[in-house]
Amino acid sequence: MRSNWINNKEEMFQVIDKCDTCYVSMVDQNKMPYVVPMNFGLQDGVIYLHSSGKGKKMDILQQNNNVCIAFSTDHQLKFQNKDVACSYAMRYRSVLIYGQVEFIEEAEAKIEKLNIIMQKYTGREFSYNAPAIREVSVWKVVIREMIGKKLGY
Ligand SMILES: Cc1cc2nc3c(=O)[nH]c(=O)nc-3n(C[C@H](O)[C@H](O)[C@H](O)COP(=O)(O)OP(=O)(O)OC[C@H]3O[C@@H](n4cnc5c(N)ncnc54)[C@H](O)[C@@H]3O)c2cc1C
């Protein structure tokens, strides 16, 4: 099965849109990797995420806000001969993006971006109470570089 680069941005954004989870990787102060699965939203080529303001990922991002985010979908196991391990392959479409996390501070902007995420998962928007908005961290990742790859499609 041939693997190919995904060359057009539209297809890359379709891949991202189809995913319900992304994997956000970062590098800590000791140059050790750290990756967490997260939910996300996508609008106009920008990825939005949200989290608590505390925890390991926030400690890392305060020091180093560079991230690489992986998205992967359309997984399908295929084989040529069911008794030959090397004839098995997983069809997939995937995208990696590189960028930097910026934190959105202003309450109205936080609500707008949270609703981009909620819209993706529920198809609707919500209102939020002020303490919840104060506590939540809303992340914005402008895509600096985006690479797509697919196998079997
Ligand atoms: C499908 C999915 C969607 C998610 N969506 C979000 C989201 O949108 N926002 C969000 O903030 N979190 C989300 N999470 C949880 C996220 O993966 C982290 O567990 C969480 O954000 C805490 O991260 P932290 O760095 O603050 O960990 P801490 O609370 O500081 O964690 C302490 C230790 O726990 C370990 N750890 C942390 N997370 C995980 C994990 N997921 N699995 C195994 N070990 C772990 C690490 O070794 C870490 O050192 C999601 C998880 C899943 C599986």
Pocket test residue of 22, 23, 38 for ligand 1, highest count of atoms within 8 A of CB = 38
Q: Tens digit of pLDDT for each residue in 105-120?
A: 999 999 999 999 999 9
**What residue's CA is closest to ligand 1, atom 49?**
56
Q: How many whole angstroms from 98 Cα to the centroid of ligand 1? A: 20
DSSP track, the chain: --EEEE--HHHHHHHHHH-S-EEEEEE-TTS-EEEEEE--EEETTEEEEEE-S-SHHHHHHHH--EEEEEEEEEEEEEESSTT-GGGEEEEEEEEEEEEEEEEE-SHHHHHHHHHHHHHHHHSS-----HHHHHH-EEEEEEEEEEEEEEE--
Which residue segments constitute the domains of the chain, with CATH numbers given?
3-151 (2.30.110.10)
Q: How many whole angstroms from 114 Cα to the centroid of ligand 1? A: 18
Pocket lining: 47 vs ligand 1, CB cutoff 6 Å: no
Distance (Å, whole) CA 147 – CA 153: 16
Residue 145 has pLDDT above 90, yes or no: yes
Q: Tens digit of pLDDT for each residue in 22-59?
A: 999 999 999 999 999 999 999 999 999 999 999 999 99
Q: Does the reported pTM lie above 0.75?
A: yes
> What is the predicted pLDDT for the residue at 106?
98
pLDDT band, very low/low/confident/very high, at 3 (cuts 50, 70, 90): confident
Residue 5 has pLDDT above 80, yes or no: yes
